[in-house]
Structure 1
Amino acid sequence: MASRNRKKLAELRRVLQAAGISGLELLSLDDVDPFPEAPETGATFEENALTKARAAFAATGIAAVADDSGLAVDALNGMPGVLSARWSGVTGASGEDRDRANTALLLAQLADVPDERRGAAFVSVCALVSPAGEVVVRGEWPGTIVREPRGEGGFGYDPVFQPLGSTRTAAELGPEEKDAVSHRGRALEQLLPALRDLAERDFA
């Protein structure tokens, strides 16, 4: 997986286990020799995910899955979108510090927006690049932005995102609950046939 995010890696591992897919060894960027990583400069999630997966596959020769995900807020015309991870402009900080800064800025921008106009969706695009070709899938998780962070689980904007039909935020859901309904879970579910095929192939 073309990521150093251990939570994303754990999520993919849980999805593979739940689907009964074996025969794949899951590695992160920390498990392979360093290579120049592709910058996330695409205008869409699809562009960024494919660019990262292609770079990882080209550098390692190992089938690569890359995810680009973010939060699209209706009142902000779909932003932060592909800029979600760096919305506050904070760089060089730990992931948790950056998450808090991004979330604080988002809540400030939505402070005067009434509850009925606080719709949003988490979006995840996953790209798989392997000797068998390229597969790109997209998952969306609709909900609303609450006014105060709630919950200790998840990461990113999870504490302020309340999924449609739920009374809890994404950060208040357990890992298995979240996998079953989240944007990344929905995208990875669509990727399972290609991953199962990959597990069964012999590229020697």
Structure 2
Amino acid sequence: MTQSTWLEKHTDLVLASNNKGKISEFNHIFETLNLPIQVIPQGHLQIEDAVEDGLSFIENAILKARHAAKHSGKPAIADDSGLCVPALGGAPGIYSARYAGEHGNDSANNHKLIQALQPLRQKHTIITGMFVCVLAFVEHAEDPLPKIFQGVWQGEILTEARGEHGFGYDPLFWLPELGKTSAELEKAEKNKISHRGQAMQAFIQSLITN
């Protein structure tokens, strides 16, 4: 079954996330498109988060998508994303949401990142990083061919937070070409260029083409 055929036969798509920020971004993207899809966050179906014990974004995205599909009986899409900083060997990477120990504590995670980078900074040193997003789509829990879509967003890591929008590491993610952090972008502007926006556009394109 091709994804375009799937679109003709299904209207519900379970989003394997309970992260309010991610849910908001997904909903905003789908609202701007004329597609007959209802995105259902897994929490609305009383589905708890999957155990993320993979060693890569791809592995974790597939694990989460299969988990949501198994417990809902519906096609599912999962996002696994995070911030990779080459100067830290790619950390926080797949552990981005729980970098400081407590899952989803953005303030603590940002503080730990600032502290981890402090010894590596010299005068005028620019520390680069990249947001990575992998989307995994499965038509059912045992789908042997999950569809994978990836986005990578390059930027720099600041020494202090700026901006009130977004979530996660957005306040530290500086975009020199725009003169703003990710947290200073309006939602629509961010969705056009972000790692998640890139991956979502690839997913949407796969739905509307044969």
TM over 0.5: yes
Where in structure 2 are the equivalents of 1:176-195 lying within 5 Å? 176-195=188-207
The amino acid of 2:130's aligned partner reads: A
SS in 1 for 2:135: strand
Shift of 1:166: 2.3
The amino acid of 1:15's aligned partner reads: I
Correspondence for 1:118 = 127
Shift of 1:164: 4.5
Correspondence for 1:5 = 19
Runs of 4+ more than 4 Å apart: none
Correspondence for 2:45 = 32
Distance in structure 2 (CA, Å) of the matches to 1:182 and 1:127: 17
SS in 1 for 2:138: strand
| Alignment partner of 1:169 is 2:178 | no
* Contiguous gaps of at least 5 residues in structure 1: 198-204
Aligned residue pairs total 191
Correspondence for 1:200 = none
Where in structure 2 are the equivalents of 1:127-142 lying within 5 Å? 127-131=136-140, 134-142=146-154
Where in structure 2 are the equivalents of 1:25-174 lying within 5 Å? 25-34=38-47, 37-90=49-102, 95=104, 98-112=105-119, 113-114=121-122, 115-131=124-140, 134-174=146-186
Post-superposition Cα deviations, 1:98-140, rounded to whole Å, max 9, x if no partner, equal: 1100100100111132354400000000111115852111100
Shift of 1:7: 2.3
> Aligned residues: percent identity?
38
Distance in structure 2 (CA, Å) of the matches to 1:175 and 1:17: 13
TM-score (norm 1): 0.87
Which has the higher mean CA deviation after the structures are superposed, 78-87 or 186-195? 186-195
The amino acid of 2:55's aligned partner reads: A
Which has the higher mean CA deviation after the structures are superposed, 113-122 or 62-71? 113-122
Q: 1:17 to 1:196 in 2, by over 3 A?
A: farther
Post-superposition Cα deviations, 1:145-166, rounded to whole Å, max 9, x if no partner, equal: 0111001110010000012522
Given that 1:87 and 1:102 are in contact with CA atoms closer than 8 Å, whether structure 2 keeps it comes out as yes
TM-score (norm 2): 0.84
* Contiguous gaps of at least 5 residues in structure 2: 1-14
